[in-house]
Amino acid sequence: MATTVTSTKTAEKRETSSGRGSKFPGPNGKGPKGNGNGGGRRGPRRGLSPEAYRVTMWMVIAAIVMMFAALSSAYIILSFDGERRRVTMPPMFFLSTGIIILSSFTIETAKRSLKRENESRYRGWTIATLVLGLFFLAAQVMGWRELAAQGVYFASHPHSTFFYFFTGVHGVHLLGGIAGLSYLAIRGQRKGKVGKVMPKETSAGLMSLYWHTMDALWIWLFLLLLILK
Amino acid sequence: MGRVLAVIIWILTLGSVSLFFVKKWWFPQAISAHAAALDRQFVLTIIVVGIAFTAAQVGLGYVVWKYRDRGPNDRAVYTHGSNRLEVVWTVVTAVIFISLAVMGQSVWASLHFNKAPVGAYQVEVVAQQFQWNFHYAGKDGIFGRTDPNLIDDSATNYIGLDSTDPNAKDDMTHTVIAIPEGRPVELILRSRDVIHNFWVPQLRFKQDLVPGMNIRVHFTANRPGKYELACAELCGQFHYRMRSFMLVLPTAEHEALMALPQDQFQARITELLAKYQLPAYQQ
Amino acid sequence: MSSETHEAVHRHEAPTSFIRKYIFSLDHKVIGIQYIILALTAVVVGVTMSVLMRLNLSWPGTSWSILGTLFPTGAPGGIMNPEFYLSLVTMHGTIMVFFVLTTAPQGGFGNYFLPIQIGAEDMAFPFLNMMSFWVTFVGFIVILAAIFVEGNTTIATSALGVWLGGGSGSTVGPIGGWTGYAPLSAVGVAAGPGQGAGMNLWIVSIAIFCIGSLLGALNFITTLLNMRTRGMTLMRMPLTCWAWFTTAVLALLSFPVLLGGGILLLLDRTVGTSFFIPGGLVFGSSVLNTHTGGSPILWQHLFWFFGHPEVYIAILPGMGATSHILSTFARKPVFGYRAMVFAIFAIGLLGFFVWGHHMFISGMSPYSAMTFSILTLSIGVPSAVKTFNWLGTLWGARIRFTTPMLFAIGFVSLFVAGGITGLVLGQTSLDLPMHDTYFVPAHFHLVMGVASIFGMFAAIYFWFPKMFGRFMSERLGKFHFWLTFVGVYCIFVPMHTMGMVGMPRRYANFGEYRFLDSIHPLVIFVSIAAIITALVQLVFYFNLIWSVFKGKKAGDNPWEATTLEWNTTSPPPHDNFAGVLPVVYRGPYEFAVPGAPNDYVMQTEPDASTAGEGVGGNGHNGHKH
């Protein structure tokens, strides 16, 4: 069993802890035999491919969706109580819905700009999305004021509570998205395709995935509140 | 080592199974109409369970006894399994389990899928920390209105009966439940504070009492006597002594009881509690 | 030099400082050990509480002077108050389910061995991994704090205690049971003692735990899907990896629901919302006017939607370890590897559709109850298939009775014993007499509290030589096994009968009811068995600690096993494989291969007929029995 060093890619990644590379002169050294590499997506063996990060982001989204699914079922169940009052949908929430839909377009534009290698436009549209996100949150808070004005408070009937609660929990998650956008906008100043941890295209893709999810989630919550109010 | 392990597994199996066989500790004698079917289903299930348990443990003991390592020249059988076996034992297990599942629904369906039969005797149950309250409709058969705001424990109005309601005039309340023998009984279950659970072991029946809900259940008791009533859902620190009694009375005796005026009702219940003894339990 | 995208160098340098090496470490092996130590600590707390519970049930009214000294309000004169007892019940359940059964099997052994078994240098996100442990640790501190805030009158009535929710000083935590049903858990101190600060801290602790678990789940899934070494296809992974993967998916999808429910409950308790509190409740003589419209059953749905997958989270890693260890010491491939993988998936998937079997008599629709019941008995099928395959693995084997093997065999025996009574409880009709009696704890302790733990014991004895380069004492290990195996049968089988007689759960005292008089001898028997079994675990702890320093030295592959962890040193180097990632040529359980010189062929072996010859053959390090 001759020991051949593996491909150069893996050889480079071996940094300081090498020097013991010959400890296991067993079959490891064999060159690529093209066998059983059925794992599918595979970049260089020591790094995480962009797909890997995308999978992780989908996992994060799955967890977030499960929590909102639980809260949505709670809302649906509690809406069938005859004792509750009718709530009028605050007009501000219509506005905020429009804002967030718009922001999905801006972040999509940002991502496409990056694909077309237009870094400054990418930054610009990212910042635009961030600003829209902030406006969204502001509109939500104004919506709360409108709720209070019609006598609907947080600790009223649970059906009413959800108008505040859904916007609040969604807003917290959106803040996470805003933090991410800020990070990208700042880091985006650095030239080149490669970010600190992953390629810029990857991070832009992940960010837009998260942001679109926040958008879709808000649309769901908004419709749920609208239909069952 | 393998032999010792096999023997110990078999002894433990024998011990476990005999605990059930001996029937020294078993359900108390049943007093309800659905109990016979329920007990039959239980015995059937336990037999299936017992056979599966014993077979698996005997099998496990057998393989660890027989297939111990006998030395370096001895190799195990190289096999990755058998698809046919997988299909066979999956199908057999599925058939047995699903059959049990379907059979196990019939008593449940008979109790819960139908409303109480017409003419059922109704009692309203209001549980609280840590006491049972039973509300009897009296001669008019209509329950008086209750309101939580009228609850006054110090005045023994535990269920908040509205004395201004004409239907409440002949209502009676007590911490003991008295039901007629051989006649369907409908309980309307409510709670004042937290979740409780109405349970008389001999009845083979229990149900949560959930605050904010009026839950209706029905059953028929067919053996007169006095039975202990326990709470079967954690309700606070005195959950363990939320104790009362269920009296199952012959029809005539029950009618006579319910016809009594309120001032004699309490005393009569006390008499009946002394008259009927708790069942003799195995010792 | 690869000039295109510079891939993530998630690999980290070997740390040098003590803090970076052992405290805030990014190394999955250190983090795994940290989780195991957390579980080993938590289980001591949990077992102590259960022994106290047994003492109270068996000899009620006895004065235990230590209790009286430590908890003068909760156990005045050394005699336990009923609320004190109930808080022990609650904390025992919570600590065991979360901080023992959801940490060691997954976060402990999974963290340590998943990367190595798939041929990776570390988890995908080492920083997140470290965070998941420390977040879980904080959760543990918070639940311990509940003991002190509720158990000490000075703390409970101090400014901090009052801000946290107040307390009576007469319990060691909340008293809602680990299930915390509303409205008992939702209305606060109005419902009695043990509903103050302890309950708030309980919810907060569990919420923190949820987050730690979610971080862990992300890591496991990403790592397994993306970082397998060359040749390690999904169907060549050890069954332990499949189990950890499925467990992580269950955790990912179920913990967020608990988190949501927990937040709602905390809001009900602290800011006056009414998610779980209907209107018109009366406590003592005051009507609770501030709440209306809530549904207590909603809490149960949210809790059990999480709670049922949770119990599969607790058992699946143990099943994976059992399959792995049985095969290794039977010197025979796992029988029906593919079926085992499907069974793991089936259990995981079905586990999401059966939560209502905890709620048959809750007041939910009886038609839903029936549906849940039929689905519940269906989940017995993949579990039975796994049992048949374990027996099939042992059939025709050449069994080496090492301590890990004994525990793995014990797992099979106990899993059958516990699982089989699920067929009783899962039927709606039979749940009518059985709900909330001791039949239920008999069932779940046998599967969770014993089978799962046996899976962990098997894993510890099996992997200890790899983790520390030394064996645990076989003699002490076998002593531990025999007494524990017999002991747990003695503890939990009688509980079935107690349940049939009618012994209700969560009763601080059985003296009030005549129908319970007959079971007293059983209660005493169980307690004596429990105390002896608990004491025997001290032998295990001694063995564990002593062996780290003085155990007989072990080589790289002392058990003559086949999977990738046995290809590297004991303990493995910082990057697991000393810079040379293994290449995989075959499946994980190639024992007794015809034509191979040894009775095992490692996964990295390209040619079975020459396996083990020359360098790398570890037959000499074998540890035969």
pLDDT in tens, C249-267: 999 999 999 999 999 999 9
Which pLDDT score is estimated for A224?
Answer: 94
Task: Tell me which chain A residue has its CA closest to the CA of residue C121.
Answer: A46
User: A27 falls in which pLDDT band (50, 70, 90)?
Assistant: very low
Q: In sequence order, which residues have a C-beta less than 8 Å from that of residue C370 and are 6 or more positions away?
A: B105, B108, B109, C428
Average pLDDT value for residue range C553-569: 95
| Lowest mean pLDDT segment, chosen from A181-195, B232-246, C1-15 | C1-15
A59 to C272: CB separation less than 8 angstroms, yes or no:
no
Which pLDDT score is estimated for C151?
Answer: 81
Of all residues in chain B, what percent carry a pLDDT higher than 90? 84
Which pLDDT score is estimated for C318?
Answer: 97
From chain A residues 42-71, the ones with a CB under 8 A of any chain C CB are: 43-49, 51-52, 55-56, 59-60, 62-64, 66-71
Angstrom distance (rounded) from CA C132 to CA C109? 14
C363 to B210: CB separation less than 8 angstroms, yes or no:
yes
User: A30 falls in which pLDDT band (50, 70, 90)?
Assistant: very low
Which pLDDT score is estimated for B9?
Answer: 96
User: C618 falls in which pLDDT band (50, 70, 90)?
Assistant: very low
Task: Tell me which chain A residues have a C-beta less than 8 angstroms from the C-beta of C578.
Answer: 17, 20-21, 23-24
Average pLDDT value for residue range B120-134: 95
Of all residues in chain B, what percent carry a pLDDT higher than 70? 99
The last residue of a domain, from among C519, C535, C553: C553
Of all residues in chain C, what percent carry a pLDDT higher than 70? 96
Q: Is C582 on the interface with A (CB under 8 A)?
A: yes
User: C509 falls in which pLDDT band (50, 70, 90)?
Assistant: very high
The number of beta carbons lying within 10 Å of the beta carbon of residue A189 is 9
Nearest CA-CA distance, residue A108 and chain C, Å: 22
> Residues B247, B175: contact at Cβ < 8 Å?
no
Angstrom distance (rounded) from CA C213 to CA C438? 30
Task: Tell me which chain C residues have a C-beta less than 8 angstroms from the C-beta of B49.
Answer: 420-421, 423-424
Long-range contacts of C158-164 (CB under 8 A, 24+ apart): C161/C197, C164/C196, C164/C197, C164/C200, C164/C201
Range of the domain at C269: 26-294
Q: Is C280 on the interface with B (CB under 8 A)?
A: yes
Q: Tell me whether residue C14 is in a domain.
A: no
Nearest CA-CA distance, residue A177 and chain C, Å: 18
Nearest CA-CA distance, residue B83 and chain C, Å: 8
The number of beta carbons lying within 10 Å of the beta carbon of residue A197 is 15
Measured between CB atoms, which of A25, A45, A60 is closest to C581?
A45
Q: In sequence order, which residues have a C-beta less than 8 Å from that of residue A216 and are 6 or more positions away?
A: none
C614 to A1: CB separation less than 8 angstroms, yes or no:
yes
C527 plus C596 within the same structural domain: no
Whichever domain contains C112, its CATH number is 1.20.210.10
Average pLDDT value for residue range C346-367: 96
User: C613 falls in which pLDDT band (50, 70, 90)?
Assistant: low
C508 plus C622 within the same structural domain: no
Q: Tell me whether residue C153 is in a domain.
A: yes
C98 plus C246 within the same structural domain: yes
B239 to C86: CB separation less than 8 angstroms, yes or no:
yes
Q: Is B105 on the interface with C (CB under 8 A)?
A: yes
Task: Tell me which chain A residues have a C-beta less than 8 angstroms from the C-beta of C585.
Answer: 27, 35-36
Task: Tell me which chain B residues have a C-beta less than 8 angstroms from the C-beta of C83.
Answer: 237
C522 plus C545 within the same structural domain: yes
User: A47 falls in which pLDDT band (50, 70, 90)?
Assistant: low
C546 plus C559 within the same structural domain: no
| Chains touching B (3+ CB pairs < 8 Å) | C
Quick one: which of C274, C351, C268 has its CA closest to C316?
Answer: C351
Judge whether residue C6 has pLDDT over 50: no
Judge whether residue C229 has pLDDT over 90: yes
Q: Tell me whether residue C225 is in a domain.
A: yes
C498 plus C596 within the same structural domain: no
Name the average pLDDT for chain C.
92
Residue of C347, C430, C435, C450 to mutate, interface with B, max B Cβ within 10 Å = C430
Nearest CA-CA distance, residue B249 and chain C, Å: 20
Q: Is A1 on the interface with C (CB under 8 A)?
A: yes
Nearest CA-CA distance, residue B259 and chain C, Å: 31
Measured between CB atoms, which of C332, C406, C428 is closest to B77?
C332
pLDDT tens column, C276-325: 999 889 998 788 888 888 999 999 999 999 999 999 999 999 999 999 99
Looking at this protein, which amino acid is placed at residue A105? Answer: F
Q: In sequence order, which residues have a C-beta less than 8 Å from that of residue B266 and are 6 or more positions away?
A: B174
Measured between CB atoms, which of C191, C366, C494 is closest to B112?
C366
Measured between CB atoms, which of A46, A49, A159 is closest to C11?
A46
The last residue of a domain, from among C533, C553, C573: C553
> Residues C356, C290: contact at Cβ < 8 Å?
no
A158 to C294: CB separation less than 8 angstroms, yes or no:
yes
Q: Tell me whether residue C154 is in a domain.
A: yes
Q: Tell me whether residue C325 is in a domain.
A: no
More confident residue, C2 or B193: B193
Domain A50-227 has CATH 3.40.50.150: no
User: C621 falls in which pLDDT band (50, 70, 90)?
Assistant: very low
Interior angle at CA C174, CA B228 and CA B194, nearest 5: 45
Q: Tell me whether residue C58 is in a domain.
A: yes
Q: Is C265 on the interface with B (CB under 8 A)?
A: no
Nearest CA-CA distance, residue B181 and chain C, Å: 21
Three-class SS state of C287: strand
Q: Is B155 on the interface with C (CB under 8 A)?
A: no
Which pLDDT score is estimated for B112?
Answer: 95
Which pLDDT score is estimated for A117?
Answer: 81
Q: Across the beta sheet with B205-209, what order do the strands follow?
A: B177-180, B244-249, B225-231, B196-200, B205-209
Average pLDDT value for residue range C362-389: 96
Angstrom distance (rounded) from CA C330 to CA C409? 11
C496 to B19: CB separation less than 8 angstroms, yes or no:
yes
* H-only helix segments in B233-261: 251-259
C393 plus C526 within the same structural domain: yes
The helix (H) or strand (E) run that includes residue B186 is strand B184-191
C604 to A14: CB separation less than 8 angstroms, yes or no:
no
Q: Is B200 on the interface with C (CB under 8 A)?
A: no
C548 plus C560 within the same structural domain: no
Judge whether residue C619 has pLDDT over 80: no
Question: What are the residue boundaries of the structural domains of chain A, listed by start?
Answer: 50-227
Half-sphere exposure of A61 toward its Cβ, with a 13 Å CA cutoff?
A: 19
B206 to C435: CB separation less than 8 angstroms, yes or no:
yes
Task: Tell me which chain C residue has its CA closest to the CA of residue B199.
Answer: C433
Residue C292: phi and psi, rounded to 5, are: -165, 150
Measured between CB atoms, which of C230, C567, C614 is closest to A37?
C230
CA distances to B96, B266, C364 from C376, rounded to whole Å, are 13, 46, 16
Which pLDDT score is estimated for B70?
Answer: 78
pLDDT tens column, A148-207: 998 888 888 888 899 999 999 999 999 999 999 998 888 777 666 666 677 888 889 999
Number of domains in chain C: 3
Nearest CA-CA distance, residue A95 and chain C, Å: 27
C562 plus C549 within the same structural domain: no
C539 plus C590 within the same structural domain: no
Q: Tell me whether residue C377 is in a domain.
A: yes
C433 to B204: CB separation less than 8 angstroms, yes or no:
yes
C616 to A17: CB separation less than 8 angstroms, yes or no:
no
User: B69 falls in which pLDDT band (50, 70, 90)?
Assistant: confident
The number of beta carbons lying within 10 Å of the beta carbon of residue C541 is 13
Q: Is A81 on the interface with C (CB under 8 A)?
A: yes
Angstrom distance (rounded) from CA C3 to CA A192? 13
More confident residue, B2 or C615: B2
Task: Tell me which chain A residues have a C-beta less than 8 angstroms from the C-beta of C14.
Answer: 16-17
From chain A residues 93-152, the ones with a CB under 8 A of any chain C CB are: none
Q: Is C275 on the interface with A (CB under 8 A)?
A: yes
C125 plus C246 within the same structural domain: yes
| Lowest mean pLDDT segment, chosen from C43-47, C146-150, C343-347 | C146-150
Q: Tell me whether residue C316 is in a domain.
A: no
C529 plus C573 within the same structural domain: no
> Residues A106, A129: contact at Cβ < 8 Å?
yes
From chain C residues 177-236, the ones with a CB under 8 A of any chain B CB are: 177, 181, 183-184, 187, 191-194
C6 token code pair: 């510079």
User: C35 falls in which pLDDT band (50, 70, 90)?
Assistant: very high
B239 to C284: CB separation less than 8 angstroms, yes or no:
no
Query: What is this structure's pTM?
Result: 0.92
pLDDT tens column, C447-504: 998 999 999 999 999 999 999 999 999 999 999 999 999 999 999 999 999 999 999 9
pLDDT tens column, C574-583: 999 998 999 9
Which pLDDT score is estimated for B224?
Answer: 96
